[in-house]
Structure 1
Amino acid sequence: MIRKASIMFVYKDCYEEYKKRHNEIWPEMVTELKTHGAHNYSIFLDEETGRLFAYLEVEDEEKYAQMADTDICKKWWAYMEPIMETNPDNSPVSIDLKDVFYLA
């Protein structure tokens, strides 16, 4: 498994809505994530700054990258766009973090 982590940004007045939408994640989105090799996906919120810390494990980088090209992913991005910082294609503004330490 490949461990991945990133930082995204949710608007401060949208914390509850962000949590609600993820609590009600669409089953087809979950299916597509798993189809593209995602496991152990967690997102944590720093309420002081609106920063989101995302962690997941993927089977294969290329396979997971293809998730961005799916219709359901694009639909999810459009759904989330009003409540978080996004790029022009509605994908979340995301900063990939470099793996520097791991204790198994």
Structure 2
Amino acid sequence: MKRYGSVLGLKPDQIAQYKRIHADVWPEVLEQIKKSNITNYSIFLKEPENLLFSYYEYVGDDHEADMAAMAADPRTQDWWAICEPMQAPLDTRREGEWWAGMEEVFHTP
């Protein structure tokens, strides 16, 4: 199992809508998350900075392939098409990232 954390901005005028849609995530999206070997997936919001922090645990053997399968899923693509206009990616993210990856620097043994 490997842990992943990432951060992303959220447009201030989209906070209520973002919370609303995440209170009722589509079942097909949740199923794809499971199929992609992701567990304990959470998104936290830090206001007033309007930063989203994402955390998940990956239990598969090929993270890159599982993330590609998720990205190719049509229903997940529909979900992202709704979410992405609400989001504000960080200028400091790596090329090719939407959510900026973070380095884990501490975890209790």
How does the TM-score come out when normalised to structure 2?
A: 0.82
Runs of 4+ off more than 3 Å: none
From 38, 62, 65, give the equivalent of 2:64: 62
Runs of 5+ consecutive residues of structure 2 not aligned to the other structure: 90-96
Question: Quick check: 1:43–1:55 contact (8 Å CA) kept in 2?
Answer: yes
What do you get for the CA RMSD once the two structures are aligned?
1.8
Q: Percent identity?
A: 32
Question: Quick check: 1:42–1:54 contact (8 Å CA) kept in 2?
Answer: yes
Aligned residues: 100
Equivalent residues in 2 for 1:1-104 (5 A)? 1-60=1-60, 61-66=63-68, 67-85=70-88, 93-104=98-109
1:99: Cα distance to partner?
A: 1.3
SS of aligned partner of 2:41: strand
1:4: Cα distance to partner?
A: 0.2
1:29: Cα distance to partner?
A: 0.3
Runs of 5+ consecutive residues of structure 1 not aligned to the other structure: 87-91
Question: Quick check: 1:38–1:64 contact (8 Å CA) kept in 2?
Answer: no
Q: Deviations over 1:7-62 (max 9, x none)?
A: 01111111111111111100000001001101001111111111101000011313
How does the TM-score come out when normalised to structure 1?
A: 0.86
One-letter identity of the residue aligned with 1:11:
K
Give the match for residue 89 of structure 1: none
SS of aligned partner of 1:9: strand
